[in-house]
């Protein structure tokens, strides 16, 4: 490739008879392969080509270091983003595990839902009103039923089967005991109102 014309070379030599000194500057162009296309500073007489070469290498090295630094920063940003996502997933998982453990603990520690049924073996039937008769009198029987209602409300008896069993334990009249012995099974799981009527 031909060298471009150098304006310093084409000038007239000075009037003295000494031969001209080498005033050629080193070639500057895209031969270095840098992205900048070379130096934009004007060519100055008396520059050292070796120094120019080292400066060009230094600029390339700085450019490469800047690119590597930028890539490193981007990879750090990507790594932080991935770490943040992992931490968020771990927090959510930990929260779910702790919440589930707390719920299971509450289920274990909370008593089973109370049934409205009484433990009839511990219940003191003797505290209630006893019916002693007469067997076919309606008015004493109705008074006894009212007393039973009051007794059930004060003792907190709400289950119909419990009320029927307790009423059977409070009868002392013979005919009513016979009725309980033979017909009480018909009233199991029925309402207290059906039993009263």
DSSP 186: G
* pTM (2 d.p.): 0.36
Task: Give the closest residue to 168 by CA, choosing from 146, 142, 189, 195.
Answer: 195
Cβ-contact 157, 116 below 8 angstroms: no
Domain boundaries, the chain: 48-111, 127-196
Q: Which residue has the higher pLDDT, 186 or 80?
A: 80
Whether the per-residue pLDDT at 31 is higher than 60: the answer is no
Positive or negative torsion for Cα 59, 61, 67, 70? negative
**Encoded tokens for 177:** 């005991």
Q: What confidence tens digit (pLDDT) does each residue in 118-163 have?
A: 777 777 777 788 877 777 777 888 888 888 888 888 888 888 888 8
């Amino acid at each position: 490739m031909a060298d471009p014309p150098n304006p310093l070379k084409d000038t007239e030599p000075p009037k003295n008879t000494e031969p001209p000194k080498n005033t050629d500057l080193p070639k500057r162009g895209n031969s270095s392969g840098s992205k900048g296309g070379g130096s934009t500073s004007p060519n100055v007489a008396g520059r050292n080509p070796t120094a120019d070469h080292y400066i060009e290498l230094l600029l390339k090295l700085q450019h490469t270091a800047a690119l590597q630094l930028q890539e490193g920063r981007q990879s750090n940003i990507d790594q932080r983003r991935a770490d943040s996502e992992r931490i968020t997933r771990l927090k959510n998982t930990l929260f779910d595990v702790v919440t589930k453990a707390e719920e299971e603990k509450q289920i274990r520690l909370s008593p089973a839902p109370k049934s409205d049924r009484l433990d009839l073996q511990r219940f003191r039937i003797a505290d209630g009103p006893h019916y002693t008769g007469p067997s076919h009198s309606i008015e004493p029987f109705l008074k006894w039923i009212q007393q039973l209602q009051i007794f059930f409300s004060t003792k907190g008896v709400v289950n119909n089967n419990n009320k029927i069993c307790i009423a059977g334990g409070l009868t002392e009249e013979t005919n009513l005991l016979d009725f309980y012995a033979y017909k009480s099974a018909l009233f199991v799981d029925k309402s207290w109102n059906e039993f009263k009527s």
